[in-house]
Chain A
Amino acid sequence: MTWETVIGLEVHTQLNTRTKIFSGASTDFGAQPNTQACAIDLAMPGTLPVLNEEALRKAVMFGLAIEAEINEISAFERKNYFYPDLPKGYQTTQLEKPVVVGGHVEITLADGSAKSIRIHHAHLEEDAGKSLHDDFHGMSGIDLNRAGTPLIEIVSEPDMRSAEEAVAFAKKLHAIVTSLDICDGIMAHGSMRFDVNVSVRRPGEPLGTRTETKNLNSFRFMERAIEKEVARQIDVLEDGGEIIQETRLYDGDTDTARAMRSKEEANDYRYFPCPDLLPVEIDQAYIEAVRATLPELPDPRCQRFVEQYQLSEYDAGVLSENAATARYFETVAAECNDAKLAANWVMGELAAKLNSEERDIETASVTARQLAGLIKRIKDNTVSNKMAREVFDAMWQGEGEPDGIIEARGLKQVSDSGAIEAMVDEVIANSEKQVENYRQADAKKRPKMLGYFVGQVMKASKGQANPQQVNEILLRKLDELL
């Protein structure tokens, strides 16, 4: 008998506002500890929160992008718990009246099938600070710069049935929030963090008991954590055991998971409406004004790429997923006027470099304009593909513009057929034995034997002859000798 996996996600998404959700302190990442934690963030007596209009606007943008309802009246509540990185002793969040209700996100799986994942709701809340557990004389250090950073927590329905679906959903959410420019999407900074609810059941039976694995900050860790947890639950159940509802922690570095010490009362958050904040009114005119500013989203952009640039669904999907990549690709394609070559270079050489250096496309060492300049030189036969890769590497190292590099390194490909013919003649004249073998050989074997001559000509040209032309001329000349 098989088991069915049921997965729901809670996604903490940091909004890329300049300031905190309830205070005018900066949200810049990487500042010196506690230099961006003001009296409101520290819960000093006498302070009052005031909602950041940008945080609200970005939450509404998200709701509209996933075709959700926007609550006309949205309210904040206090979620009470004690932890040193939460100075107020409660998190200001939303429960009964979140900004965003419902909606859906479409995912595509590796086998090409599509699925719609329903969103339960998305609410505005504040992030907590960070606890640093390095040893400070047996104490923990607290940095409250992150306290009060605006988040939307996006809560899905338990609609996913495998780790693959959960990852596809998480990646699509990432694509949506970065395309909307409401989140910087930098996973390494914790800009998106996933809590995963997992249970298993026999097909057709009611939902099994679930566990929650908290605070996963990469797609790969999320996938591993789900796979491990599913395997663990199946083991427990097949051994006749029971799943205990608990919160678990996954450590990506050691690929291990464990249950958090669970306290009976840990989940009793005693929510109540926050008396410091009034209800937020969101009228239809405001919603329509925000709707009018929505940028192009990944799915429509993917369709446009297929139609406008004649890309395959796969290529269009990769290039359209992320707004920055899409912008880069479109700039290259427009400048060099060859979408197919632009797609190949962005998904090939450029992606490989970015991957190996773990960088984002925004910080690429080769600009879209430079890459387009290089592709133009491939198209007009100035350089071969092989030379182009060398020029690309040189640009990546900061050696400047493609034309300058081609000039400086003497990389111009010889496309002058007269010059190539002369080299071919010389090679044929100096290769009596090979020419004789070629003539004697079976016609089927000749294409293989051509390699020797091509190699000699390329050597004679110091690698600068246009290989296609060399092939053509060699074939013609050798055939004349048959």
Chain B
Amino acid sequence: MSIDRATIEKLGELAKILISESNVEVTTRSINDVLTLVDQLQAVDTAGVRPLANPLDATQRLRSDVVTEPDCRDQFQALAPAAENGLYLVPKVIE
């Protein structure tokens, strides 16, 4: 599998990453290299191997349903570019 320039540009848009004109070629090549490696991996016969959701030989531990987090709004909002009446302010997003 290989991907073209248009796909890289679209992925850049979806991920909100600016891929400059001068970088498109090299990014396309790097990602195609990764995909070549994936192709190699996919050539291995995995019949009879259980699918692996995570490389660690462990399962998710669970938390008790107990409130442990205090209100730290003031500290968090001090970091925000804009906040008012307890709300974070962002550029208008309504359609």
Q: List the interface of chain A (C-beta within 8 A of B).
A: 17-19, 23-26, 32-40, 42, 50-56, 73, 75, 80, 82-84, 97, 131-133, 136-144, 260-261, 265, 268, 270, 273, 275, 277-281
Contacts and interface: CB of A to CB of B under 8 A. Distances in A.
A24 B63 contact: yes
B73 A53 contact: no
Interface in B1-48: 10, 13-16
B44 to A, nearest CB: 19
B61 A50 contact: yes
25 contacts: A18-B66, A18-B67, A25-B69, A26-B69, A34-B73, A34-B77, A34-B88, A35-B73, A36-B71, A38-B69, A50-B62, A50-B63, A56-B62, A131-B94, A133-B93, A136-B89, A139-B92, A140-B90, A142-B88, A143-B86, A261-B95, A265-B13, A270-B14, A280-B60, A281-B60
A23 B85 contact: no
B25 to A, nearest CB: 22
B56 to A, nearest CB: 6
Contacts of A54: 65
Nearest to A73: B53
Interface string B66-88: 11110111001100001011111
Contacts of B49: none
B95 A51 contact: no
B71 to A, nearest CB: 4
Interface of B: 10, 13-16, 53-54, 56, 58-69, 71-73, 76-77, 82, 84-95
Nearest to A281: B59
Nearest to B58: A278
B42 to A, nearest CB: 16
B61 to A, nearest CB: 7
Contact of A33 (B14, B56, B67, B85): B85
A25 B14 contact: no
A278 B56 contact: yes
Given A23-B69, A35-B73, A42-B76, A136 B62 contact: no
A90 B88 CA distance: 19
Given A24-B66, A25-B67, A75-B53, A279 B87 contact: no
Contacts of B89: 136-137, 139-142
Nearest to A264: B10
